[in-house]
Amino acid sequence: MKEALKFYINGAWVDPVKPKTLDVINPATEEPCGKISMGSSADVDKAVAAAKAAFPAWSTTTREERVAMFEKIIASYQKRYDEIAETISMEMGAPIWLSKAAQAATGLGHFTTNLEILKTYQFEETRGTTHIQKEPIGVCGFITPWNWPINQIVCKVAPALAAGCTIVLKPSEVAPLNAIILAEILDDAGLPKGVFNLVNGDGPDVGSPLSSHKDVDMVSFTGSTRAGILVAKAAADTVKRVAQELGGKSPNIVLEDADIEKAVASGVQSVMMNSGQSCNAPTRMFVPASKNDEAKKVATAAVAGVKAGDPMADGTTIGPVVSEVQYNKIQDLIQKGIDEGATLLAGGTGRPDGLNKGYYVRPTVFADVTPDMTISREEIFGPVLAILTYKTEEEAIDMANDTEYGLSSYVQSGDIEHARKVANKIRAGNVHLNGAGPDFNAPFGGYKQSGNGREWGEFGFEEFLEVKAVLGYQAA
């Protein structure tokens, strides 16, 4: 069991102001796998003071100095790569193959992407007699979740560091151990003291004081819409910039001209990935009414190949969900789907056969779902797919947009031009055509209650910059 009882503040590992600990639970065994200290507003004050003191020097480093630092960080990250993957699998349950191929890989991807942006980004330009300067926003407070933990940490940390900002991070207390490794990586790379600080804790005792702190210039939050609203309210009194990546209920429109077998099977796999714990998972599948029976057969066959099991074992498709709280929430929503009359094609309540311990959820597919059903409207955050039918394309688009969310959307078609036309009618920050995967240079973020601002690539980098106009810079 790994004990991580200190916080990383001002370039040193320090004890919390008030001793208080929390066990980190391995969701596959329901047993502790680590122990962390839980912080308070006093710890936040110390971390913010360190970040504020470090800002003048770090914000004025040269491009070349930051490039050199990023190269050291990347080299240090690569040395700890397998350890990061194994830690993520242990503390949040992702299969080890997924942790190595995607979970740990995304952190490295964001560092390398922002390194390339930093090398060529134009921080200054002159327009007429006015000079435009893009400068680091200041001290940034980051609050991150447990489902893609290192991804959601580094997609904030990397651009903020590249832009010249200083940081206080509160990672999820449910899966915090990967963040400890990241702090060690940054320390090993020689990042100046105070530039990056880490305080573990929960939302009320650390997240809220971080969001409301008068010396924090920006807060970036990834998590539920409910918690995002609380962060925004806490930040409002100091009028700081707030960036949010929140919930989703992403539609997957299978058009009439799509290869139904390929589209439905790939859609099932996308939902099941990471045990359904992805805010952009395509959890609402829309199929033509005339092809509903075929879609049901394909979905049933596809989900039969999804094997829940030990995250460290070969052949495991999905591991457990992250916690008992999440497990119980998902079970309740599956039961609601049954109670409200959806057709249960596969899965259901309880653990998968042969698994008597761990927060394992049966891979579940519902058909004949209607837009008013709870499983069609609420974010389940588990391996649960809802299949709905439509008679006309416009009806499919209307149902896809009929949600308080707007993070991602998926369109499947045999004609790319047809897919593009439908994509133009979707109210979402990301639209994936015919199974297109993620792009580290593409902006990631949502419409409506899925958040504001953008992460990833140059758009994410620019979230950490203020724009200054110096008028009369050139003679008229």
Longest dimension (CA), the chain: 79
Contact 254, 267 (CB under 8 A): yes
Our separate counts of H helices and E strands in the chain read: 16, 21
Residue 382 is classified by DSSP as S
Secondary structure (3-state) at 156 = helix
* Active-site hit among 91, 155, 279, 463: 279
Q: Rounded to an integer, what is the distance from CA 206 to the centroid of its chain?
A: 20
* Active-site hit among 91, 173, 245, 455: 245
Report the distance separating Cα 148 and Cα 134, nearest Å.
30
Report the distance separating Cα 139 and Cα 52, nearest Å.
6
245 is catalytic: yes
- What would the two tokens of residue 423 be? 């994509």
165 is catalytic: no
Secondary structure (3-state) at 359 = coil
Q: Which residues contact 386 (CB under 8 A, 6 or more apart)?
A: 283, 284, 285, 337, 342, 366, 369, 373, 375, 376
Contact 362, 380 (CB under 8 A): no
Burial 176-192 (b: 16+ CB within 10 A, else e): bbbbbbbbbbbbebebe
Report the distance separating Cα 138 and Cα 55, nearest Å.
7
* Residue 458: its H or E element: helix 457-462
Cα atoms in the 13 Å half-sphere on the side-chain side of 401? 12
Contact 286, 251 (CB under 8 A): yes
Of 196, 55, 62, the residue nearest 119 (C-alpha) = 62
Starting at the edge strand found earlier in the chain, the sheet holding 2-4 runs: 2-4, 31-37, 21-26
Annotated catalytic sites, by residue? Answer: 245, 279
